[in-house]
Amino acid sequence: MPHDVKDLDLAADGKKRIEWADNFMLVLKRIRKRFEKEKPLDGVTVGCCMHVTTETANLMRTLMAGGASVNLCASNPLSTQDDVAAALAAEYGGNAFAIRGEDNETYYDHIKSVAAAKPNLTMDDGCDLIAYIHSEAPELFETLWGSMEETTTGIIRLRAMERDNALKVPVIAVNDAKTKHFFDNRYGTGQSTVDGIIRATNVLMAGRNVVACGYGWCGRGFAMRASGMGARVIVTEVDAVKALEAAMDGYQVMPIAEAAKVGEVFCTLTGNKHVIRTEHFEAMRDGAIVANSGHFNIELDLEGLGKIAKEVKPGSRELITEYTLASGKRIFVLAEGRLVNLAAAEGHPASVMDMSFAVQALTAEYVVKNKGKLDVKVNNVPDEIDEFVSRIKLETMSIDIDTLTDEQARYLSSWQEGT
């Protein structure tokens, strides 16, 4: 199979880890079993630009079980698990183009390799593949039926394309499905971000001032988990409603200019640019730890930090860069400001990716069934997919719930009964 991976000899290790993750992806497994029989993706070419993890490999296996050929490149230069890329190529028959630590040129060469397969469907984690097709390979629209997007960041970009009338293909906002963002963004990012910060630094969270920049679903997950470990959490926001929610959830809320003075660990989770800037770095305490868990490495102004630093050197541990300012204060930046949960840890645990990737697999089937009929806009995932995924997930967790009595159903659809 065409591939560009670090070392095919890593495939056996990758396969073991992929199978381990599969133990926790029971909704996806059930879909895979059905796909094996029904082959709803027979002959379909899928192009994916996603984090190359054990969980993603299980999504690729599911698409292949449905009859698709898959072509996968990384959606971030630091998130690839090389053993997984090797296993996909050597053990599962996928076309994998991803090497952890690849430079920008290789990153885009890998996107080109995926585009060269002429995908009928694309799946993005951050919108880079579909943005590449729009700007560099518009001839691919002829054979492209639809595109799915996994992240808040990607949806923001796609909505901007829609507003500018630049969008040329139907997109499905997988991120916005309830069974995706309520769980993956909150519990997945919450746990994996704390995990990444701890693996990189081994810092104690208890009693520490931890600043969460952004209180969307990812930010609230991180705040909740850091707080659960005993951190004193401060939230910064630009949205008044979200700031109010953070305040009523019990966190201190203040501008980043104030938080910079008291924070000890900082993490951005906003989807926006330059959330922590030079004036904030200058105000920080000596030894501040700074990370980003948003999709792109632009949330921290690291170029600005480099300019005000008198020395920049590798920190004492892997994935830490130590910046020394003119004042002598040191700032420790994790994973070059790239998403810390995937660069320093393994991303979200499999049981939450189970839901996100079940939505992806079912949405792929939906796009194939509806090819040529979907509007060229950012479409929602059909409600039935959310309902199916939540119902089966509960079933796999052995959780039963109640059903409405006839009387209750009647009451909810009537207006006559009042005081």
Interface positions with ligand ADE (CB under 6 A): 51, 53, 55-56, 188, 342, 347-348, 353
Q: How far is the CB of 231 from ligand ADE (least distance, A)?
A: 22
Residue closer to ligand ADE (CB basis): 56 or 209: 56
CA distance 364 to 370: 10
- Which of these, 20, 205, 171, 8, lies nearest to 90 by C-alpha position? 8
- E strands, 280-334, are 288-292, 309-314, 320-325, 330-334
Residue closer to ligand ADE (CB basis): 214 or 347: 347
Q: How far is the CB of 23 from ligand ADE (least distance, A)?
A: 14
Q: How far is the CB of 61 from ligand ADE (least distance, A)?
A: 14
Pairing of strands 309-314, 320-325: antiparallel
CA distance 97 to 80: 10
Q: How far is the CB of 59 from ligand ADE (least distance, A)?
A: 8
Query: Are residues 11 and 83 in contact, defined by beta-carbon separation less than 8 angstroms?
Result: yes
Task: Give the type of residue at 297.
Answer: N
Residue closer to ligand ADE (CB basis): 152 or 209: 152
CA distance 148 to 180: 13
Q: What tokens were used for 297?
A: 């490495």
Residue closer to ligand ADE (CB basis): 55 or 237: 55
What are the distances in angstroms from CA 243 to CA 219, 272, 349? 11, 16, 28
Query: Are residues 96 and 61 in contact, defined by beta-carbon separation less than 8 angstroms?
Result: no
Q: How far is the CB of 415 from ligand ADE (least distance, A)?
A: 44
Tell me the residue nearest to ligand ADE as measured from the CB. 347
Residue 267: in which H helix or E strand, if any?
strand 265-268
Task: Give the type of residue at 236.
Answer: T
Residue closer to ligand ADE (CB basis): 190 or 263: 190
Residue closer to ligand ADE (CB basis): 124 or 365: 124
- E strands, 88-231, are 95-97, 121-124, 146-149, 171-173, 209-213
Q: How far is the CB of 350 from ligand ADE (least distance, A)?
A: 7
Residue closer to ligand ADE (CB basis): 263 or 347: 347
Neighbours of 399 (CB within 10 A): 8
Q: How far is the CB of 53 from ligand ADE (least distance, A)?
A: 4
Q: How far is the CB of 400 from ligand ADE (least distance, A)?
A: 29
Residue closer to ligand ADE (CB basis): 56 or 95: 56
